[in-house]
């Protein structure tokens, strides 16, 4: 596979759907997977120093997602709190953002 080194537009209009531009860029098509996002987040929590409570909040999110009908409001509150806790640690913050996107996709 060739590496995409960028995208240039010289005038005109560009309308894009999914697009991946730059080194290590990727496009994910389809519905996000909350289980995969949770696994990624748990791995990052285990390998980065984050505020106390982040692991517990992540476990609470996982427990709520296992319910037959997850409570959207509760999930949003948990994810908002988790976002604030991990904000200083960029890779973990990105994983929480990805998890929030996946949760929103399945609860909408």
What are the residue boundaries of the structural domains of the chain, listed by start? 34-107
Whole-number pLDDT of residue 37:
95
- CA distance linking residue 87 with residue 79, whole number of Å: 12
pTM over 0.75: no
8 A C-beta contact, residue 67 and residue 102: no
Cβ neighbors of 36 (< 8 A, separation 6 or more) are 102
How far from the centroid of its chain's Cα atoms is residue 48's Cα?
16
pLDDT tens-digit readout, 22-34:
666 666 666 788 9
8 A C-beta contact, residue 103 and residue 34: yes
pLDDT tens-digit readout, 23-76:
666 666 667 889 999 999 999 999 999 988 999 999 999 999 999 999 999 999
Q: Phi then psi for 46, rounded to 5 degrees?
A: -75, -20
- CA distance linking residue 102 with residue 53, whole number of Å: 21
Q: Which of 1-10, 20-29, 73-82, 98-107 has the highest mean pLDDT?
A: 73-82
8 A C-beta contact, residue 52 and residue 45: no
């Amino acid at each position: 596979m060739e590496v995409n080194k960028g995208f240039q537009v010289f005038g005109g209009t560009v309308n894009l759907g999914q697009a991946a531009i730059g080194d290590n860029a990727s496009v994910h098509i389809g519905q996000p997977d909350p289980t995969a996002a949770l696994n990624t987040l748990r791995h990052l929590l285990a390998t980065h120093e984050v505020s106390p409570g982040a692991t517990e909040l992540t476990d609470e999110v996982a427990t709520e997602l296992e319910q037959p009908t997850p409570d959207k409001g509760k999930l949003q509150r948990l994810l908002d709190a988790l976002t604030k806790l991990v904000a200083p640690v960029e890779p973990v913050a990105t994983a929480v953002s990805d998890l929030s996107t996946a949760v929103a996709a399945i609860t909408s």
